[in-house]
A and B are shown apart, each in its own frame.
Chain A
């Protein structure tokens, strides 16, 4: 019952924001809000792999690219036709587009998840840095392939993707990935992931099937990265392989580490901060990226455990603190 209420509340809030935001914000600010949302999905999904499970993936941009191109190709070749057919059958445009978008996101997410499964498998044999390099290699290989395949526009990019994404869909994606992460963290499966992060050998000795849990983390992380890619594609209507370079993966890792490894709310916060930072620094023009990188270094030196450490920012945490302060005898 409570869960249903929450869900309804989130949906109502998203619809309300979806109506209100484009009217309140100018297009530039609105775009930043949408990009913040997409980056939050990326950061929270990578947090599943790097933060929860302690595996080290630096190829998130590759998963995002797969999702983006997969969903875009689906929409261009299948989804658009369906929308036209549905609208001809007097189905409201919003519903038809939403349906097609949802399918496209699912296709993109599943494609990424499959790739995540394939990349997760070598984690059977590889540990730590070596795994990191394989994911890096995977991301680069995906990008090089996209740059070379003519059917997806090669290095010219892929234009004309239907722009079905509005705030509602981005918000829904954000809500889904956060909901999943928080629930996972409280479940048996989540505990198993944490155990692998803290000590893989000990976890194995306690009967945790480390291999399948590591692969699970990869698949989940990849799925949401794919969804984020799909949202990105259907928001900008144009894709270019240069959006998915190694630098994009680095950006997402910076968000996860800056937020505090394993902290979902930290990842959300850091994703928003690191998306806004370059925009806020825009007035200083040429110095913008220099300042950005400099601040990254300073933040890592002064707060190496991330903004929130591995804590979660939550109401109960705040109230518990207050209660403890109020009742010292307890």
Chain B
């Protein structure tokens, strides 16, 4: 029993990562009816941005420290300002040894912002020009972007795996009954739940979120109501990319090995998770991700690790045969 509970804990953690990626798929699909195949690669880039972020923070901290040191020397005579600057400079120079949690948070934010910006570039550069063409053309473009990111990743980061720095040393917390949870799993769960609530808040409570819902119902009606459809679509890509980036960093905290093709399988499975839950449906994506994560961990634990990649698709086919629109999806009657 305790083993089963342990698997469940691991499964839910892993599933929350799938859910974060699946949210991006489902939002873009809801608005554009486009399977954004490049989404898994955004997740990969999130991990890589996170990988380079500590270096960036330390460098920026050191640079700012030097600059403040200089200012400190010049302003040495000034009573309060002088010593204050000195202390700040010392603190910044030691940015590398900044509190683990703070550094991890900064890494997460940098990766999310980086991928958010990339989302804008991809949407404007590649998807917008094909929006009026056939859906297949858009799909092939998405596949092209995906290949570009992967191969560009190989070119820029090199084909060999990199090892994500251990920002937060791992430790286990006993939950009782022989079930343990690592502090990294706690972080993954907390951050993903926070992000999901933030997304829910944005989509249901803010103007831009309501505009997103309107656009997903009808582009034309939304634009007649004065909503800038283009801007909303870009915003959706930014949101989705940020969530994927967060997933990338969170996974890298736990499994530090990162490489340019790491996004392919999780991307596909997260997409399957979105379809499982009912694509275009935000709670559905979360549910689908969790189901997928738990199913996968159970298969690894009780059947065979080598069938790990197949379970996702078996599950998908079963659910689609029983409920063709996904678990939470509504079947749409076709209008003639």
Contacts and interface: CB of A to CB of B under 8 A. Distances in A.
Interface of A: 50, 56, 122, 125-127, 129-130, 132-134, 136-138, 140-141, 144-145, 147-148, 201-202, 246, 250, 253-254, 257-258, 261, 286-287, 289-290, 292-294, 296-297, 300-301, 304-305
Contact of B140 (A129, A145, A254): A254
Is chain B's binding surface mostly helix, strand, loop or mixed?
A: helix
A300 B133 CA distance: 9
B153 to A, nearest CB: 10
A141 B271 CA distance: 16
B143 A137 contact: no
Contact of B334 (A122, A201, A254): A201
A133 B272 contact: yes
A138 B268 CA distance: 13
Given A246-B268, A301-B129, A293 B144 contact: yes
Interface of A is mostly: helix
- In order of increasing CB-CB distance, the 4 nearest A-B pairs are A304-B133, A137-B313, A293-B147, A304-B137
28 contacts: A125-B321, A126-B320, A127-B334, A130-B324, A133-B271, A133-B272, A133-B316, A136-B313, A137-B272, A137-B312, A137-B313, A137-B316, A140-B310, A250-B143, A253-B139, A261-B134, A287-B155, A292-B151, A293-B146, A293-B151, A296-B143, A296-B147, A297-B141, A297-B145, A300-B133, A300-B141, A300-B144, A305-B133
A22 B88 CA distance: 75
A141 B155 contact: no
A49 to B, nearest CB: 12
B261 to A, nearest CB: 10
Interface in B107-149: 126, 129-130, 133-134, 136-141, 143-148
Contacts of B275: 129-130, 133
Given A141-B314, A147-B306, A301-B129, A296 B140 contact: yes
A301 B130 contact: yes
A148 B272 contact: no
B264 interface: yes
B320 A304 contact: no
Contacts of B321: 122, 125
Nearest to A155: B306
A253 B37 CA distance: 14
A144 B296 CA distance: 14
A301 B154 CA distance: 24
Given A125-B324, A301-B129, A290 B148 contact: yes
B137 A300 contact: yes
A189 B310 CA distance: 36
A35 B336 CA distance: 44
Nearest to B306: A148
B220 interface: no
B130 A300 contact: yes
A123 to B, nearest CB: 11
B307 interface: yes
Given A136-B313, A137-B313, A148-B306, A296 B320 contact: no
B295 interface: no
Interface of B: 29, 33, 35, 126, 129-130, 133-134, 136-141, 143-148, 151-152, 154-155, 264, 268, 271-272, 275, 279, 304, 306-307, 309-310, 312-314, 316-317, 320-321, 324-325, 334, 336
Contact of A304 (B134, B312, B334): B134
B137 A144 contact: no
A134 B137 contact: no
A301 B129 CA distance: 6
Contacts of A144: 306-307, 309-310
B310 A145 contact: yes
B140 A258 contact: yes
Contacts of B144: 254, 293-294, 296-297, 300
Given A130-B320, A136-B313, A140-B309, A257 B137 contact: yes
Nearest to A245: B264
Contacts of A137: 272, 312-314, 316-317
A89 to B, nearest CB: 45
Given A257-B136, A290-B155, A293-B144, A126 B310 contact: no
B336 A133 contact: no
A136 B336 contact: no
A286 B147 contact: no
A286 B313 CA distance: 33
Contacts of B143: 250, 253-254, 296
A89 B224 CA distance: 81
B279 A129 contact: yes
Given A258-B140, A305-B133, 6 more contacts: A136-B268, A137-B313, A257-B136, A289-B151, A296-B141, A300-B144
A300 B140 contact: yes
B318 to A, nearest CB: 10
Max chain B CB contacts within 10 Å: which of A133, A250, A254, A294?
A: A133
Contact of B136 (A133, A147, A261): A261
Contacts of B152: 290
A141 B136 CA distance: 24
A297 B148 contact: yes
A147 B144 CA distance: 27
Contacts of A138: 313, 317
A253 B140 contact: yes
B320 A134 contact: yes
Contacts of B139: 253, 257
A251 B141 CA distance: 12
A294 B317 contact: no
A129 B152 CA distance: 28
Nearest to A142: B310
A134 B317 contact: yes
A136 B306 CA distance: 19
